[in-house]
Amino acid sequence: MRVRDPKLVAALPELGALLEPGTSLAELTSLGIGGTTDLLRITKHDAIPELLNLLDAESVPYKFLGGGSNLLVGDGELPWLVLQLVSPDPDIVLEGRFAQVDAAADLGRTVTFCAKNDLGGMEGLIGVPGTVGGALRMNAGAYGMQIGSYVRQVKLYRAARRRLETLEGDQISFEYRHTSFAPDDMMLAVKLELPSKPYPEILKGIRICNEKRRASQPLGQKSAGCIFKNPPGASAGRMIDELGLKGLSVGDARVSDRHANFFVNAGKASAKDMLALTADVRARVEKSFGIILEHEVVVWNA
Ligand code: EPU
């Protein structure tokens, strides 16, 4: 999708939106897959409702991109504009046990920054790539913790009401890899309340989680983390492994040899390859286990 209307292009700077024409989404996603579109980088939260009203008035479809680490984007020329927040400086402000964090802040850096200030709880999230906003929307979790447990307040663009809102933690439900946010709500900032812990103790926890992750996940390769959700009471990775599917490929899309629920881009995989591989694995799991796996990765397919 290319923004060509001169009136729209001229209105963008005042709304704090920077246009980057012809951006490759393959370069903005950890899978390294995705076609091309115009990117709008947003620097002013307060101007978002006006900006989106303008895009709607001009019938320009759009999607919100976080850190691109849990995302599988379609190939070719993409039919929507992509909007991404630019993080302010500083993007994390601490006040006692509370951390006010911009949605565009890097998750790993947030975990370590809080840790260095004796605020723990998020040790399990170390090594989870992406932004705080993305982690919030998906309720990212690992090693027995999930980010939702620490959320006290969220500032967001509420798409249904077309306005910025602040929600208290108890107005939001956080479940396994799912939240009560609507798919078109845009996370802007979050206030976390974290347990006080001495830094060396947090560091110990971080090291243990890092170790476990390194031992079981293909960290150096292009992936979107786990591709399927774990069905209740079962492990997608174990089932795929039991079927002997590690190494199964379609083009350069490949089931990781290290963790069977990680599908990697081993070269120049297309979205078509990756989706053919997920469909094949899903069909085999259903046939053998009678369980239909659900994508954990968010799919933006035209
Ligand atoms: N297993 C196998 N073969 C494999 C992979 C796993 O037999 O190829 C077995 C393991 O030995 C273990 C069980 O399956 O007994 C579970 O595996 P693991 O501990 O790696 O955890 P997981 O359930 O596969 C979940 C999350 C991960 C998170 C880890 C650690 C989901 C879909 N996955 O993985 O999150 O890092 O626990 O807490 O919830 C993600 O969300 O993208 C993600 C990677």
pLDDT number for residue 63 = 97
Q: What is the mean pLDDT of the chain?
A: 97
Atom 25 of ligand 1: nearest residue by CA position: 142
Region 139-153: mean pLDDT is 97
Question: 76: pLDDT confidence band, cut at 50, 70 and 90?
Answer: very high
Ligand 1 pocket test, candidate residues 30, 72, 261, 295, most atoms within 8 A of CB: 261
Query: Taking 70 as the threshold, does the pLDDT of residue 302 lie above it?
Result: no
pLDDT of residue 116: 98
Name which residue sits closest to atom 14 of ligand 1, judged by CA: 238
Ligand 1 pocket, residues with Cβ under 6 angstroms:
142-143, 216, 225-226, 229-230, 235-238, 241, 259-261, 296
Pairing status of strand 98-102 against strand 186-193: antiparallel
**Cα 142 to averaged position of ligand 1 atoms, centre (Å):** 9
| Interval 46-67 mean pLDDT | 96
As a whole number, mean pLDDT of residues 276-289 equals 98
The pLDDT, as a whole number, for residue 4 is: 87
Dist. CA 289 → ligand 1 center (Å): 18
pLDDT of residue 269: 98
Residue-wise pLDDT for 254-278, tens only, equals: 999 999 999 999 999 999 999 999 9
- Spacing, Cα 28 to ligand 1 middle (Å): 25
Mean pLDDT, to the nearest integer, of 177-202? 97
Could you report the per-residue pLDDT of 212-243, keeping only the tens digit for each? Answer: 999 999 999 999 999 999 999 999 999 999 99
Mutational pocket test of ligand 1: of 126, 206, 213, 216, the residue with most ligand atoms within 8 Å of the beta carbon: 216
b/e sequence 259-287, b meaning 16+ C-beta within 10 Å: bbbbbbbeeebbbbbbbebbeebbebbee
Structure tokens given for 10:
């001229």
Nearest CA to ligand 1 atom 10: 238
Which pLDDT score, from 0 to 100, does residue 14 have? 96
Structure confidence by residue, pLDDT tens digits, 4-22: 899 999 999 999 999 999 9
The CA distance from 177 to 146, in Å, is 9
pLDDT at 68 over 70: yes
Percent of the chain with pLDDT over 70: 100
Distance 280 CA to ligand 1 centre (A): 20
For residue 230, the CA-to-ligand 1 centroid distance in Å is: 8
Question: How many residues are present in the chain?
Answer: 302
Q: How confident is the model at residue 122 (pLDDT cuts 50, 70, 90)?
A: very high
For the segment 190-199, the average pLDDT, to the nearest whole number, is: 98
Q: 294 to each of 91, 231, 248, 286, how far by Cα in Å? A: 34, 8, 19, 11
Of the given ranges (18-27, 90-99, 293-302), which has the lowest mean pLDDT?
293-302
**Atom 7 in ligand 1: residue holding the nearest Cα:** 238
Q: For ligand 1, atom 20, which residue shows the shortest CA distance?
A: 216
Q: What is the whole-number distance in angstroms between the Cα of residue 199 and the centre of ligand 1?
A: 27
- The number of the ligand 1 atom at minimal distance from the alpha carbon of 262 is 44
Q: Which residues are catalytic?
A: 177, 226, 296
Ligand 1: atom nearest CA of 227 is: 42
Mutate to test the pocket of ligand 1, among 136, 139, 226 (most ligand atoms within 8 A of CB): 226
